[in-house]
Chain A
Amino acid sequence: MASSRLFWASRAASYLKISVFHRGFSTVLKDLKYADTHEWVKIDGASAIVGITDHAQDHLGDVVYVELPEVGAAVTQGSSFGAVESVKATSDIISPISGKVVGVNEELNNSPGLVNSSPYEDGWIIKVEVSDANEAKTLMGADDYSKFCEEEDAKH
């Protein structure tokens, strides 16, 4: 069952021109950039979308609440802009990029579990007007992030 699911998943991935790397339970998407605090960012010119990775949502457990910033708030690379609540814990969400918040995912107010079920799609958290595109160079690509996650998990 698992192998045929993976076969069809990789056929679908190939059709959609995305690479899906399975590292244990964590999925990593090829065209995103990643922070060592387990947030992803999709940059498109001066705009970016930010969320938390599959690795993060898996380790956090069921998300029951997402604390979203206000639209118009400034975000700074490496600083917290919000939080998720899971298993009695609030966990800071750290921005991988600096800029201004131009959109927040209001769906998360009613359906915080989207962060678990669809961390890279419906579970996106904020949209940002990027202030310094060069910051993306400090982030990891998919391969490096996968290795980073493996190394982190191997230490424990």
Chain B
Amino acid sequence: MTIPQSQKIGRPLMKLIRLRGWPILQQLHIEEQLLRTSSENWCIINDGTREPTIVMGVSGKPAELLEIKPVLHDQVPVIKRFTGGGTVIVDGGTIFVTFICNKDAVPDVQPYPRPIMSWSSLIYNEVFQETGNFHLRENDYVFGNRKFGGNAQSITRGRWIHHTSFLWDYEIRNMAYLKLPSRAPEYRSARGHLEFVCRMKDYISRSDFIGRTIRVLGTHFSVEPEELEAIQTVSSTNFSPSSRLLTTQEIESALCEAESRKSLACSASS
């Protein structure tokens, strides 16, 4: 969709990359590279990812967050990403939207977690204007009191990234790989996964959501499509992304850790 030239005046440039079914680890690598080595503003939209994958935040501990035995048995890949935040399981039903901005491109937004989160909610308020009962609730996007979008950020000197995994659809059985986190938002009220989350597909189609997001972005930025190949050909050879796949050995060690905690808890209570 093209935006009339007259509307582009005064808005900072934002390059848009659209992907479909891109592996989440590769997406995270591209994002971290752009955050740390580019000086431009970016929006990345990845419509689904190929295989079900668990993605933990930078400080995530598998023993605390995952049901390790089924994860090992079913060989579910586990990634530790470079941004903060919690654990999600993503698959073809997940839509990823990422904003990477120079702080000067959004000068009214202080480069700290809460102002960035508020700014993002203003964008999505416009996207979901006539849809559901959309809110930013603590740090999640919800319809009513059910979460459909999880957020995470990384803030560097002068730049930041805010990325969201949207549950357009999900497999109930995949939720069984995740434990109830000890650090949970208050509004969760100890609800299990299935009572806590909802599917975006009950409110909006994939194409409408992506179309509206790009349109709203276009009112804040001068959006220009960019091909992924253009970034990959100039990728920095000095840059080493920190998001990584955990090894089977690491996950097995987490199982030992989880089991030794359980037996300590049993001895303490007997």
Interface residues as binary, B83-113 with A (CB distance below 8 Å gives 1, 0 otherwise): 1111000000000000000000001111011
> Does A155 lie within 8 Å of B107, measured CB to CB?
yes
Using CB atoms, name the residue of chain A closest to B108: A156
Q: How distant is B264 from chain A, measured CB to nearest CB, in Å?
A: 17
Q: Which of B112, B117, B139, B157 has the most A CB atoms < 10 Å from its CB?
A: B112
Bound state CA distance, A85 and B56, in angstroms? 13
Q: Across the A-B interface, how many residue pairs have beta carbons closer than 8 Å?
A: 74
> Does A60 lie within 8 Å of B59, measured CB to CB?
no
Q: Name the interface size band of chain A.
A: 20 to 34
Bound state CA distance, A61 and B118, in angstroms? 14
Bound state CA distance, A152 and B115, in angstroms? 13
Is B148 located at the chain interface by the 8 A CB criterion?
no
Bound state CA distance, A88 and B57, in angstroms? 8
> Does A88 lie within 8 Å of B139, measured CB to CB?
yes
Q: How distant is B232 from chain A, measured CB to nearest CB, in Å?
A: 25
Bound state CA distance, A67 and B156, in angstroms? 14
Using CB atoms, name the residue of chain B closest to A67: B58
With contacts A88-B151, A89-B84 taken as known, whether A59 is within 8 angstroms of B156 at the C-beta atoms is no
Q: Which of B57, B117, B183 has the most A CB atoms < 10 Å from its CB?
A: B57
Interface of B: prevailing SS: loop
Is B170 located at the chain interface by the 8 A CB criterion?
no
Tell me the A residues contacting B by CB distance below 8 Å: 37, 59-61, 64-65, 67, 78, 80, 83, 85-92, 94, 152-153, 155-156
Tell me the B residues contacting A by CB distance below 8 Å: 57-59, 82-86, 107-110, 112-117, 139, 151-157, 183
Provide 30 A-B residue pairs closer than 8 Å at the C-beta atoms, listed in order of the A residue.
A59-B110, A59-B114, A61-B112, A61-B114, A65-B58, A67-B59, A78-B157, A80-B156, A85-B57, A85-B58, A87-B84, A87-B117, A88-B57, A88-B84, A88-B85, A88-B152, A89-B83, A89-B112, A89-B113, A89-B154, A89-B155, A90-B58, A90-B82, A90-B153, A90-B154, A90-B155, A92-B155, A92-B157, A156-B108, A156-B110
